[in-house]
Amino acid sequence: MNSIPYGRQHIDQDDIDAVVSTLQSDFLTQGPVVKQFEDQFSAYIGAKYAVAVSNATAGLHLANLALGLKKGDRIITTPITFAATANCARYCGAEVWFADIDSDTYLLSLESTRNLIESKPKGFFKGIIPVDFAGLPVNMEAFRALADEYNLWLIEDACHAPGGHFTDSKGTKQMCGNSNYADIGIFSFHPVKHIACGEGGMITTNSEALYKKLSMLRTHGITKENMVENHGGWFYEMQELGFNYRLTDIQSALGIKQLAKNKASVVRRNEIANNYKQAFNGKVKFQNLPDGNLNAHHLFVIEVEDRKGLYDYLRTHSIFAQIHYIPLHTLPYYKEIGYGSADLSHSENYYSKCISLPMYPTLTDDEQAFVIEKVLEFVNGK
Ligand SMILES: *Cc1c(COP(=O)(O)O)cnc(C)c1O
C-alpha cells in the first residue's frame, strides 16, 4: 500500500490545459479570468459579491480592515482553528479573545461566546469570527442574533467548508459563506483545502459598500471610480493605504476548473465520512452532525484516549494522520500576549484526543478500509 496522507489535491488534465491556455493569453496577473472565477464562485455559494485574493489570510486581513477593526479593538474567535483566523485581527493591532468550543460539534460555542460578551461592558468587543471547522457549518443565524444584540460584526471563516450548508429557522438551506447572516465569508484555495489554486482565497459579501472597499484594499487602495471627462486616461486616486493582495489569472483558471468539481468532491467526501461513521459508531467518538446540516468535510476528526499512540501506530503503517489544531491560546505567541478568554476546558480536552484521518476525494475504498482496520486494531488493543 502507498503512503496515505490526511489530505491531498487532485489535478486533472483539464486543470492543466486551462492553466496552459492562460499562460498563452495576454493576461498573467489579474485580468478577465479573475472576474470569471469571482462570478462563478459567488454564484455557487449564493453570495452577491466575491473578491479573489492571494490567499485566505490576506482575505481575513482585508475583511477585518473593511469592517473597521483598529488598534485596541477586540474580537472573539475559537482556539480550535488555523492561526490565520486570529492573526488577521493582530495585523490590525486588535486583541484576540477566545471563547470555548462545543464538545460535540467542535465549533465555537454560542453559549460560551455569549458568556464572554456578557462578562464585559457593552461595546467591549467589535466582532466575532466563527469557523466552519472541519467543514461543519456554524449556525450563522444564531450568531447573527447574538451579534445584533451587541452591535458586533461577523466574519465566517469558511475555509474548510465550500459546498457545506445549514438549514435556518425558516427551513432555508444556507450555504457556508453566503453572507446572508455573516457580513463577510472567507475561503482558502491552499492545495490541502477543497479547491486548489496553489495559493488563493476568496472573500464573499452581500454588501456593495464592503465589496467596493475590499476591491480597493486588494489593489493598494487605488480606484479609478472618480474619473471625470476632462481627466486623462491615466487618472486614478489612492484613497487609502491598501495592499497588493491580488490573485492571478493563472491561478483563477485553475480555480474555475477546480470549482466545477467541488460538488462531486463534497459528495465523495461525505461517502467517505459515512463509511468512517459506520465503522466507528459506538466505538470511537467523531464530530456530531446536527440535523439540516451538510458537512463539507475538509477533515474527518475522531477522538481517542491514546492519541499519540494512534498517531504513531498509523505512521508505522504509512498512514499520515494529522492534528487539527493545537489550541491557539496555548501557542507561545498568544500565551505571551495573554488576552482574556472564557473557560477553554472543552478546547483543551478536545485537543488532547483529536486526530484527523485521511479525507480527500481520491482516497480509494481499499485505502479507506485499510485506515479503518488499523484504527480499530489500535483502539481494540491490537
Ligand atoms: C487554511 C486556513 C486559513 C488560511 O488560508 P490560506 O489560504 O493558507 O491563507 C484560514 N483559516 C482556516 C480555518 C484555514 O483552514
Rounded to two decimals, the pTM is: 0.97
Give per-residue pLDDT as tens, 178-196. 999 999 999 999 999 999 9
Pocket test for ligand 1, best of 6, 51, 57, 78 (most atoms within 8 A of CB): 57
CATH superfamily of 263-379: Aspartate Aminotransferase, domain 1 (3.90.1150.10)
Of ligand 1's atoms, which has the minimum distance to the CA of residue 201? 7
pLDDT above 90 (res 177)? yes
User: Quick check: helix, strand or coil at residue 152?
Assistant: coil
Cα–Cα distance between 61 and 184 in angstroms, integer?
A: 12
Q: Where are the beta strands (DSSP E) in 99-236?
A: 127-129, 153-157, 165-167, 173-175, 184-188, 201-205, 222-223
CA-nearest of 221, 220, 188 to 204 is: 188
pLDDT above 80 (res 379)? yes
Of ligand 1's atoms, which has the minimum distance to the CA of residue 298? 15
Rounded alpha-carbon distances, angstroms, from residue 74 to 6, 127, 161, 283: 34, 7, 26, 41
- Residues lining ligand 1, judged by CB closer than 6 Å? 55-57, 81-82, 84-85, 131, 157, 159-160, 188, 190, 201
User: Quick check: helix, strand or coil at residue 244?
Assistant: strand
Of ligand 1's atoms, which has the minimum distance to the CA of residue 160? 15
pLDDT above 70 (res 68)? yes
Domain boundaries, the chain: 4-261, 263-379
Question: Residue 84 C-alpha to ligand 1 middle, in angstroms?
Answer: 6
The pLDDT value recorded for residue 28 is: 85
Give per-residue pLDDT as tens, 311-353. 999 999 999 999 999 999 999 999 998 888 889 999 999 999 9
CA-nearest of 183, 189, 188 to 63 is: 183
C-alpha cell at 100: 470555548
pLDDT above 90 (res 280)? yes
Among 59-63, 235-239, 339-343, the minimum mean pLDDT is found in 339-343
The pLDDT value recorded for residue 326 is: 97
Pocket test for ligand 1, best of 62, 90, 188 (most atoms within 8 A of CB): 188
The pLDDT value recorded for residue 382 is: 63
Chosen CATH of 4-261 out of 3.40.640.10, 3.40.50.300, 2.170.150.20, 3.40.50.880: 3.40.640.10
The pLDDT value recorded for residue 159 is: 98
The predicted model gives 371-379 an average pLDDT of 98
pLDDT above 80 (res 291)? yes
Confidence band of 260 (pLDDT split at 50, 70, 90):
very high
The predicted model gives 140-145 an average pLDDT of 98
Tell me what the pLDDT averaged over the chain comes to.
96
C-alpha cell at 187: 475561503
Question: Residue 23 C-alpha to ligand 1 middle, in angstroms?
Answer: 27
